[in-house]
Amino acid sequence: MDTILTVNAGSSSLKFRLYGMSATGMPTLMIKGQVDGIGTHPRLRADTGHDKSLIDRTYAPETMPDVGTAIHVAAAWLRDTLKMAPVAVGHRVVHGGPDYDRPIVVDEAVVAKLTRYEPLAPLHQPNNLAPIRSLLKLRPDLPQVACFDTAFHRGHAAMADRYAIPERLYVEGVRRYGFHGLSYEYVAGRLGEIAPAIAEGRVIIAHLGSGASMCALSGGRSVESTMGFTALDGLPMGTRPGQIDPGVVLYLLTQKGMSADATQSFLYRECGLKGLSGISNDVRDLVASKEPGATLALDYLAYRVGLNAGMLAAALAGVDAFVFTAGIGEKSATMRARIAERLRWLGIDLDPAANGANALKISRPTSRVAVYVVPTDEELMIARHTLALLSHRSANATQQRAL
């Protein structure tokens, strides 16, 4: 069976999945794996997707110093041990800028364009591109597909897309992009299977994880997002502040004497729940803590979700459903309850028992706004896009030969 490899690369980890191209035309999960501790304590783990372990191996730090090397190690294991050689690789790429509004087959020219957006997503973009560069050198014949987190939001109206700045900057690409698009695209499709009538209406999705944002959907399409030009905007996150007065940034630069690099590092690594609590960026640690800072951070996150829900409800002129997804949204009943309390004004009436059980629908039948918990699957979305693009290229090639 032909297979597709999906790659989601971070700064010190690399998640990968191997999908079979089934007869139904839908990707079928065969293997899921991860390389953690890249550069410090590298560890490769993989299983069949049903908790049957296939490998759990540690490596010397010098043998896996970066993400580019990690993809070589994972690919070699798939090829040499499992005799699996994917026919294509799909990658999550956070920022597609103004150039890319859909998945694209990657070459050196595409990588050069995407490199320009590294300053706009410094925690993600360089690491997203590292395995692409490595595979271009190692296997230039292997099709690679970039799937963008910004693409799902590219249909926004001008009112949602623009800042109140001169036109010349908009033309350069300074605009509101929105992120977590692969997650929103998957959840929108899944909601269409769960509750088709609601999915065609007005829906707010809260992607709550270490990175967090919210998206307003109308008829399954993104119309507004809490994130903008970069992934710093909107909700407070694990280590990012979310919405902040630009004057604070100017203050750090001019009054505190911080360099641009130091300010960037501060905003991406020292703020958010970590900065507020003074304890941790992990909601699990904060929920377990009795410290006032932990309570402040959790209440602040719930408060900001409530504020942004109001903004998105205004963009939609009403709300039919609210959906929780991603790590916190899927697993933290405590945070869902905190947030739901803030959203009672919307007509949300949470069912505590269903919420505690992580049920699919966690609102009471009397709730004016239905509330769901829908686990996301960005990797499956990448696999679907990659397979669709391969099929399209194959059909075009067949057509050309016929001519």
pLDDT, tens only, 134-179: 889 989 999 999 999 999 999 999 999 999 999 999 999 999 999 9
Q: Comparing C-alpha atoms, which of 321, 300, 166 is closest to residue 237?
A: 300
Which listed residue (149, 320, 351, 377) is catalytic?
149
3-7, 56-60, 353-357, 395-399 — which is least confidently predicted?
Answer: 395-399
pLDDT of residue 85: 83
Confidence of residue 393 (pLDDT cuts 50, 70, 90): low
Q: Comparing C-alpha atoms, which of 177, 217, 180 is closest to residue 319?
A: 217
Q: Which residues of 151-189 are buried (b: 16+ CB within 10 A; e: fewer)?
A: bbbbebeeebbeeeeeeeeeeeebbbbbbbbbbbbbbbb
pLDDT in tens, 195-233: 999 999 999 999 999 889 999 999 999 999 999 999 999
| Residue-averaged pLDDT of the chain | 91
Question: At 46, phi and psi to the nearest 5?
Answer: -155, 150
Structure letter (DSSP) for residue 350: B
Three-state DSSP state, 242: coil
Structure tokens given for 262: 């130091």
DSSP strand pairing (3-9 vs 88-93): parallel
Q: How far apart are CA 162 and CA 291, in angstroms?
A: 41
pLDDT of residue 64: 86
Q: How far apart are CA 27 and CA 56, in angstroms?
A: 25
- Between CA 105 and CA 15, with CA 215 as vertex, the angle to 5 degrees is 45
292-316 and 333-342 are packed helices; what angle lies between their axes, rounded to 10 degrees? 60
pLDDT of residue 23: 65
Structure tokens given for 64: 């896996």
pLDDT of residue 145: 96
Structure tokens given for 299: 């209440």
pLDDT of residue 65: 86
Neighbours of 105 (CB within 10 A): 15
Q: Is 80 a catalytic residue?
A: no
pLDDT of residue 403: 53
Three-state DSSP state, 16: strand
pLDDT of residue 402: 54
Q: Is the pLDDT of residue 82 over 60?
A: yes
Percent of the chain's residues with pLDDT above 90? 71
What global pTM score does this model have? Answer: 0.91
- Cβ atoms 90, 147 nearer than 8 A: yes
Confidence of residue 398 (pLDDT cuts 50, 70, 90): low
pLDDT of residue 10: 74
Q: Which residues of 304-329 are buried (b: 16+ CB within 10 A; e: fewer)?
A: bbbebbeebbebbeebbbbbbbbbbb
Q: How far apart are CA 139 and CA 8, in angstroms?
A: 18
Percent of the chain's residues with pLDDT above 70? 96
Give start and end residues of each alpha helix (H) in 195-271. Answer: 196-199, 246-254, 260-269
pLDDT in tens, 86-144: 899 999 999 999 989 999 999 999 999 999 999 888 888 998 998 899 889 989 999 99
Confidence of residue 11 (pLDDT cuts 50, 70, 90): low
pLDDT of residue 372: 97
Q: Which residues contact 389 (CB under 8 A, 6 or more apart)?
A: 103, 104, 105, 145
pLDDT in tens, 277-293: 999 988 999 999 999 99
pLDDT of residue 84: 83
pLDDT of residue 223: 96
- Residue found by looking up tokens 């690099």 in the block: 261
